[in-house]
Structure 1
Amino acid sequence: MRVPFRHAVFLAALALLSACKEDVAQTFKPQEMTPETLGHYCQMNLLEHPGPKAQVFLEGNAAPLFFSQVRDAVAYTRAPEQVAPIVAVYVNDMGAAGATWEEPGKGNWIAADKAFYVVGSARQGGMGAPETVPFSNRERAAAFALVEGGRVLVLADITDAMVLTPVETGAVPEPDDADYLGRLRALPHPAGE
């Protein structure tokens, strides 16, 4: 079988180009929050909300998804509809020097799988739900739990129910929300339904 010269040159060039492709390993370093940083779920400015934050890097994306609560980020990683490969998750170290509930700090991001978490404390996160409070040090986490309540767990010991179960806030629903089902029932229905 004889291959025309043009085809042979094209195939040789294609082989050379594919051999030149270099796989570049992406590094996912934690990003600092800015006044423009928005929470993935709430789409609100994160700097306006208290408590620790989290960021999740997905494969193929250089920018992380930020979360206004660490609990929300853990829930995101476990949600059945989340199918994109997660390559890194970082959380604020609430035991770091200068970290406060109002300002969790800059440059104090730690890998989520290395953190110790206080679950079930009296503290609420930026969106008003119970927070999963991260620390880089077990002793600091235990000291926080002694004051605020809760127990110290590693990420693998936090159950799905702890982060995926809806939270009852006890808030009185707005009048528009309270009669929502009634308004739905009042809508006209197609014949036969």
Structure 2
Amino acid sequence: MKGAVAILALLALAGCKEDAAQDVTPLALTPAAIGHFCQMNLMEHEGPKAQVHLGGLPGAPLFFSQVRDALAYARMPEQTHEILAIWVNDMGADGATWAVPGIDNWIAAGDAVYVLGSDAVGGMGAPEIVPFSDAAAARSFADTHGGRVVTQDAIPDDAVLAPVAIEPDTEDTEFEQRLRALSRRN
């Protein structure tokens, strides 16, 4: 009988226990932030960045070199974890520039407005979808760089999932020249 009472007491306590919500506060961008797809240091790339917080992975968001890549990740059917939050750099924030988009000027991706179809190219060389917290700042960017202002829900799949042809650099870099010289020796 005592065992049954103990089990009932444990079940009652478990039923009253509230699950602690996972902290999805955006993390500041540091030199340790590595892009999920490219595995490169984010601070070495221009343009806005993103971070995605996944259920069951507290304190370890996935970082992305481009906002476009984070939005693509969220739409891919292969996801195994629940996406709890997506944060993007607010490119209208004080001090945010294309070269240095900011380390802690994060806004919720769903609250942002975006400039789609501009001449802006992100850190990985693909067209960028540029986030702003302020629609007027987004319109000003679109007036200068082309494109249109949209919400996240209005961004079509082909703007984030379609392949992008990246023009090759016409001049060999020093690294490429050394590789060619090595391959000729063999």
How many angstroms apart in 1 are the aligned matches of 2:81 and 2:94? Answer: 34
Q: TM-score, normalization: structure 2?
A: 0.84
| Equivalent in the alignment of 1:11 | 7
Q: TM-score, normalization: structure 1?
A: 0.81
Q: Paired residue for 1:67, among 64, 67, 77?
A: 64
1:23 lines up with 2:23 in the alignment: no
Q: 1:20 to 1:153 in 2, by over 3 A?
A: closer
List aligned pairs for 1:97-112, cutoff 5 A: 97-112=94-109
Q: How many residues align?
A: 170
List aligned pairs for 1:32-181, cutoff 5 A: 32-62=28-58, 63-171=60-168
How many angstroms apart in 2 are the aligned matches of 1:170 and 1:19? Answer: 59
1:21 CA displacement: 3.1
How many angstroms apart in 2 are the aligned matches of 1:114 and 1:97? Answer: 18
Q: 1:84 to 1:19 in 2, by over 3 A?
A: closer
Q: Report if the CA contact (8 A) 2:56-2:81 is conserved.
A: no
Coordinate RMSD, CA, aligned: 2.0
* Larger Rg belongs to: 1
Question: Percent of aligned pairs with the same residue?
Answer: 56
- The CA deviation string for residues 96-154 of structure 1, in whole angstroms up to 9 with x for no partner, is 00000111013210010111111111111000110000011111111111111111111
Comparing 75-84 with 124-133, greater Cα deviation is found at: 75-84
Gaps of 5+ in 1: 175-193
SS in 2 for 1:103: coil
SS in 2 for 1:87: strand
Q: Report if the CA contact (8 A) 2:89-2:101 is conserved.
A: yes
1:19 CA displacement: 4.1
- Write the letter of the residue equivalent to 1:119: L
SS in 2 for 1:156: helix
- Write the letter of the residue equivalent to 2:91: M
How many angstroms apart in 1 are the aligned matches of 2:11 and 2:130? Answer: 52
How many angstroms apart in 2 are the aligned matches of 1:53 and 1:143? Answer: 20
